[in-house]
Amino acid sequence: TLSRYKFPTTSLLDDYQSQWYEVSKEELEKNNQKIVNTLKDYKISITKISARIGPTVTLYEVVPAPGVRVSQIKRLEEDIALSLAAKGVRVVTLVGTNAIGIEVANDKPSVVSMKSVLEDPKFRNSKYDLPVAIGRTISNEVFSFDLAKMPHLLVAGATGQGKSVGLNAIITSLLYKKHPAELKLVLVDPKMVEFAPYKPLLRHYLAAMPETDPNQVVITDCDKVVNTLNSLVIEMENRYKLLM
């Protein structure tokens, strides 16, 4: 049956393309000039300025004139924010370039759809063992990593900061790239509602104890977690013995 398994299509996911915030050329040029004028007011000259638009932040790359120190521009974060009437501004050094980055928060953050991330060639052509895509960078490129290279991963944050979205993005990425014969998941959900939608994957991606009730394949009882983890340790040791 697994030999006939077909990967899910991205048509199952929403696009959210209509919620993408576009920064007009006029707005970019106006902001460029405001940044140049603000720096000029403090006798800081630059040789070049360009912009890269991201989903939540626009990065203005500024090449300072010879002799200008990064600290001189960094001290002007609040002044630049005031001149642009921006929600937030951050000055960073761009490693590997002779430019300084000025990150300006967009007026309206764009919704980055999981569909657009999974369809991106960078993710589709990934050769990672456990490829995961969790969004887009400030330069609007898909950010992906190999989960196999970070087996101990802590996802933390305050309420409403996107922990559940991040975990679902990790699981969804794996479901779209790994065959059920290559991947098995043990899901522990003390909140009882986070991972409930994954219950139908029992016969494909979910690993469970033989006597587990199909309705409880996502572990919500913390007392049952110990037995499951112990069984995983036994499986791990058996594999090490096989490798030996």
Q: What's the Cα-to-Cα distance from 173 to each of 12, 20, 62, 74, 155, rounded to whole Å?
A: 14, 22, 35, 38, 16
Average pLDDT, the chain: 88
- 98 pLDDT band, cuts 50/70/90, is confident
Averaged pLDDT for residues 39-51? 89
Residue 147 is predicted with a pLDDT of 94
Residue whose entry in the numeric block shows the structure tokens 């196999």: 148
Which residues make Cβ contacts (< 8 Å) with residue 99, sequence separation at least 6? Answer: 48, 61, 62, 63
**pLDDT digit string, tens, across residues 126-145:** 999 999 999 998 878 899 99
Q: What type of residue is 89?
A: V
Residue 240 is predicted with a pLDDT of 96
- 18 pLDDT band, cuts 50/70/90, is low
Q: Is the pLDDT of residue 37 over 80?
A: yes
Residue 20 is predicted with a pLDDT of 66
- Torsion angles phi and psi, residue 218, rounded to 5: -90, 115
**Contact indicator for 123, 173 with CB cutoff of 8 Å:** yes
Residue 1 is predicted with a pLDDT of 56
**Contact indicator for 103, 90 with CB cutoff of 8 Å:** yes
The count of residues in the chain is 244
Residue 114 is predicted with a pLDDT of 92
Beta partners for residue 142, in sequence order: 136
- Torsion angles phi and psi, residue 47, rounded to 5: -100, -20
- 169 pLDDT band, cuts 50/70/90, is very high
Averaged pLDDT for residues 2-27? 78
**pLDDT digit string, tens, across residues 181-237:** 999 999 999 888 899 999 999 888 998 888 888 888 899 888 888 888 999 999 999
- 2 pLDDT band, cuts 50/70/90, is low
Residue 6 is predicted with a pLDDT of 86
| HSE value, Cβ hemisphere, 13 Å, CA-based, for 52 | 15
**Contact indicator for 102, 89 with CB cutoff of 8 Å:** yes
Residue 176 is predicted with a pLDDT of 94
Residue whose entry in the numeric block shows the structure tokens 């791990």: 236
Say what the alpha-carbon torsion angle 228, 233, 237, 239 is, to the nearest 10 degrees.
Answer: 60
- 19 pLDDT band, cuts 50/70/90, is low
- State both tokens at 87: 């929600």
- 61 pLDDT band, cuts 50/70/90, is very high
Q: Is the pLDDT of residue 3 over 80?
A: no
| 134 vs 142: CA distance, rounded Å | 8
**Residue 25 parent element (H or E):** helix 25-41
Q: Is the pLDDT of residue 69 over 80?
A: yes
Residue 214 is predicted with a pLDDT of 81
Nearest Cα to 5, choosing from 183, 172, 166, 228? Answer: 183
Q: Is the model more confident about 23 or about 67?
A: 67
